[in-house]
């Protein structure tokens, strides 16, 4: 294989597929990136057998071929090279790559490409498209609530639902639940699948804030995302996601509307002193103001006031400040609604548009 590639484009492409590369593996070849010539492009693949990322970069192909190079060394070398044409020659007989750019020369030992696992072919399955920015927003509003508890794998991902002409994404760690829905054109089927947290995280990183289409194909145990010349294939999590519907309260006795930014900033400030007290902040809802307090016995007390419009009785409730901050950060409207039904009942953070809901369990405070 003999190729010439622009350093900047090469580095960008390596960075894309690098996130699919396994960091903890017993198979050394999985710590590498597959480089393969295809037409007038160079194809790069990184996989840890659970997620696979494939991307292309334009190249001057002098001689076709393929090789697997260790992602860490190869990625860092290309990153540090000057912004010029990178010339790469692969010796297929001993699986080594010679890299030359400007006055820099490197020889790297690699692996035989035929030992690299091939990504599964996904031909059948349900296919639909959605704008990249829309899906990125949905992911960002839900991602934070995914459970880290590995003893319940079905909670280590987000539930993707297609039903009632909408796309929905739900995640929960049993202490909070975030839910986002958005209309989806020409969507008739009803299906659900659990997308692993890592896939969601990498998608959120790779998707653009553009109106370009993202094509999604879902099969029984795999999901494929195709966008901006990148293909990401991931396994789906098996198991039954809990019934999220009965966790979302369908009625509330108290509603408070507030400016999202003001509320978020006030909670962030109060949270500075809540760290010593398990991040607990108290929210005191009065008719036209919300008083937020935090108490750190050894440090001091925090006291914040935020203007609100309250409907219902005045009340007091305590929350984990981090949960509230995460939920408020995900709201993309200027106004936010807090819905409560008492100091021990779950609180609901709702966006003005109503397409985002986060249910948070309050904390019993003394």
> CA dihedral defined by 231, 233, 234, 235, rounded to 10 degrees?
170
Tell the smallest beta-carbon distance from residue 333 to other proteins (Å): 24
282, 365 in Cβ contact below 8 A? yes
Q: Which helix (H) or strand (E) holds 284?
A: strand 280-285
User: Is the CB of residue 8 less than 8 Å from the CB of residue 83?
Assistant: yes
Is the Cβ of residue 8 or residue 152 nearer to other proteins in the bound state?
152
By CB under 8 A, tell whether 73 contacts other proteins: no
Q: Which span sits near other proteins by CB under 8 A: 203-211, 296-304, 305-313, 342-350?
A: 342-350
- Please report whether residue 363 would count as binding other proteins according to CB under 8 A: yes
Contact pick of 131, 217, 291, 345 for other proteins (by CB under 8 A): 345
CB 290 within 8 A of CB 258: yes
Of 8, 79, 105, 152, the one binding other proteins by CB under 8 A: 152
Residue 142, H or E segment: helix 132-142
| Min CB(366)–other proteins separation in Å | 14
In angstroms, give the least distance from the CB of 310 to other proteins: 24
Verify binding: residue 174, other proteins, rule CB under 8 A: yes
Count, residues in the chain: 366
Calpha distance 34→76 (Å, rounded)? 16
In a 10 Å sphere around its CB, with 0-12 CB exposed, 13-18 middle and 19+ buried, how is residue 327 labelled?
Answer: buried
Per CB under 8 A, 346 contacts other proteins: yes
Is residue 122 a contact residue for other proteins (CB under 8 A)? no
**Is residue 242 near other proteins by the rule CB under 8 A?**
yes
Closest to other proteins by CB, 75 vs 346, is 346
- C-alpha 4: how far from chain center: 33
Q: What is the C-alpha separation between 317 and 26, in angstroms, rounded? A: 49
- Report the nearest approach of other proteins to the CB of residue 339 (Å): 15
Q: Using CB under 8 A, count the residues that bind other proteins.
A: 18
Q: How far is the CB of 293 from other proteins (least distance, A)?
A: 20
Q: How far is the CB of 346 from other proteins (least distance, A)?
A: 6
Candidates 10-18, 179-187, 194-202, 341-349; binding stretch for other proteins (CB under 8 A): 341-349
Q: What is each CA distance from 147 to 48, 79, 160, 197, 296, in whole angstroms?
A: 21, 34, 15, 9, 28
CB of 312 to other proteins, least distance (A): 18
Among 34, 81, 146, 177, interactor with other proteins by CB under 8 A = 177
Number of other residues whose CB lies within 10 A of the CB of residue 338: 26
104 or 174: whose CB is closer to other proteins?
A: 174
Report the distance separating Cα 288 and Cα 282, nearest Å.
17
Per CB under 8 A, residues contacting other proteins are 152, 155, 172, 174-177, 242, 246-247, 344-346, 359, 361-364
């Amino acid at each position: 294989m003999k190729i010439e590639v622009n350093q900047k484009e090469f580095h960008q492409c390596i960075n894309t597929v690098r996130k699919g590369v396994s960091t903890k593996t017993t198979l050394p070849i999985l710590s590498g990136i597959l480089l393969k010539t295809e037409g007038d492009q160079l194809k790069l693949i990184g996989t840890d057998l659970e997620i696979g990322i494939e991307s292309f970069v334009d190249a001057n192909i002098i001689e076709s071929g393929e090789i697997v190079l260790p992602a860490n060394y190869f990625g860092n070398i290309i990153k540090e090279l000057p912004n010029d044409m990178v010339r790469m020659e692969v010796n297929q007989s001993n699986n080594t790559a010679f890299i030359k750019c400007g006055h820099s020369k490197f020889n790297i030992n690699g692996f035989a490409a035929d030992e690299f696992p091939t990504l599964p072919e996904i031909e059948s399955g349900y296919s639909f498209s959605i704008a990249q920015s829309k899906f990125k927003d949905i992911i960002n509003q839900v991602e934070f609530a995914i459970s880290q508890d590995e003893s319940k794998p079905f909670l280590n991902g987000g539930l993707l639902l297609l039903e009632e002409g909408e796309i929905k994404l739900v995640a929960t760690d049993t202490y909070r639940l975030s839910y986002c829905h958005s209309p989806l054109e020409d969507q008739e089927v009803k299906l659900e699948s659990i997308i692993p947290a890592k896939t969601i995280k990498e998608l959120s990183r790779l998707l653009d804030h553009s109106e370009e289409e993202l094509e999604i194909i879902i099969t029984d145990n795999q999901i494929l995302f195709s966008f901006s010349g990148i293909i990401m294939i991931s396994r789906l999590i098996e198991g039954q996601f809990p019934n999220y519907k009965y966790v979302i309260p369908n009625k509330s006795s108290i509603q408070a509307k507030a400016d999202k930014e003001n509320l978020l900033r006030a909670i962030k400030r109060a949270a500075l002193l809540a760290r010593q007290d398990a991040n607990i902040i108290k929210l005191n809802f009065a008719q036209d103001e919300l008083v937020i307090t935090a108490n750190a016995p050894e440090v001091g007390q925090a006291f914040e006031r935020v203007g609100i419009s309250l409907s219902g009785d005045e009340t007091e409730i305590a929350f984990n400040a981090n949960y509230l901050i995460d939920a408020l950060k995900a709201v993309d409207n200027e106004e936010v609604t807090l819905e409560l039904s008492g100091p021990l009942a779950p609180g609901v953070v709702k966006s003005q548009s109503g397409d985002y809901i986060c249910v948070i369990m309050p904390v019993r405070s003394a």
